């Protein structure tokens, strides 16, 4: 497990965080769609308990929490939090590829801006 403490480990942790948080967001959307239009009632709460998308989302968020804790052990919050914006990119790609959502040119430009910002942040990182 010594590889986890090096640069490769950091990249793996970031990739895992982005995948888990993006999957959690997409699973929340799928779970909400599985529940349909319901009022906030006891029946709705009972239906949440048996909805697979909701359980998958919860599992993703729990996993992301632990990965985030590992990332914060090795990074400053002032750097880590802005880098977590890569989740926006993951959700956009996942909703486009997995859910068939249409993504506008302006959204793609936004992805490019986020990626450029992350590159600037990473370049300025002190080792």
Instruction: Give the whole-angstrom CA distance, residue 31 versus residue 111.
Output: 25
Q: Is residue 14 within 8 Å of residue 83, measured between CB atoms? A: yes
pLDDT tens for each residue of 95-114: 999 999 999 999 999 989 98
pLDDT tens for each residue of 82-91: 888 889 889 9
- pLDDT at site 3: 59
Q: Give the Cβ contact number of residue 25 at 10 Å.
A: 19
Mean per-residue pLDDT, 2-26:
87
Instruction: Give the whole-angstrom CA distance, residue 69 versus residue 74.
Output: 9
**Which DSSP symbol is given to 99?**
T
**Which DSSP symbol is given to 124?**
T
**How far is CA 26 from each of CA 18, 40, 53, 54, 120, rounded to the nearest angstrom?**
12, 21, 9, 10, 28
pLDDT tens for each residue of 15-73: 999 999 999 999 999 988 887 777 777 887 888 888 888 899 999 999 999 999 999 98
Q: Is residue 121 within 8 Å of residue 83, measured between CB atoms? A: yes
């Amino acid at each position: 497990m010594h590889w986890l403490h090096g640069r490769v480990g950091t990249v793996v942790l970031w990739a895992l965080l982005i995948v888990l948080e993006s999957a959690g967001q997409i699973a929340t959307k799928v779970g909400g769609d599985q529940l349909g239009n319901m009022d906030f009632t006891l029946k709705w709460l009972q239906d949440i308990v048996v909805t697979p998308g909701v359980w998958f989302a919860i599992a993703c968020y729990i996993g992301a929490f632990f990965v985030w804790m590992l990332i914060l052990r090795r990074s400053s919050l002032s750097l880590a939090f802005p880098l977590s914006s890569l989740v926006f990119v993951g959700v956009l790609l996942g909703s486009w590829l997995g859910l068939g959502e249409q993504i506008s040119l302006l959204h793609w430009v936004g992805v490019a801006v986020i990626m450029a910002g992350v590159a600037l942040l990473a370049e300025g990182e002190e080792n």
